[in-house]
Amino acid sequence: MSEAYSAALTLLMLSAVCAGAARGQEPPKDFVRLADLAPGIKQDIRYAGADNFMGRPVPGYVAPQCWLRREVAEALAAAQREAEQDGLGLIVYDCYRPQKATKAFIAWAQDSSDQAMKPIYYPNVDKTALFELGYIAKASAHSTGLAVDLGIVGLDFGTPFDLFDAASATDNPDIEAAARANRVKLFALMQRHGFSNLPQEWWHFALEGVKDAPPWDFDVKE
**Per-residue pLDDT at 24:** 52
Q: Collapsing DSSP states into helix, strand and coil, what is residue 75?
A: helix
- Closest by CA to 52, choosing from 104, 88, 8, is 104
Q: What's the Cα-to-Cα distance from 220 to each of 63, 99, 208, rounded to whole Å?
A: 6, 11, 23
Gap between the Cα atoms of 59 and 30, Å rounded: 23
pTM: 0.89
Annotated catalytic residues are: 201
**Per-residue pLDDT at 25:** 83
| Burial of 42 (C-beta count, 10 Å sphere; 0-12/13-18/19+) | middle
- Asked whether 152 and 190 are in contact (CB, 8 A), the reply is no
**CA angle, 160 as apex, 138 and 130 as ends, to 5°?**
25
Mean pLDDT by 10 residues, the chain (222 residues): 39 34 72 98 98 98 98 98 98 98 97 98 97 94 98 98 98 98 98 98 98 96 96
Residue 41 DSSP one-character state: S
**Per-residue pLDDT at 104:** 98
Query: In angstroms, how far is CA 46 from the centroid of its own chain?
Result: 9
Domains and CATH numbers, the chain: 30-207 (3.30.1380.10)
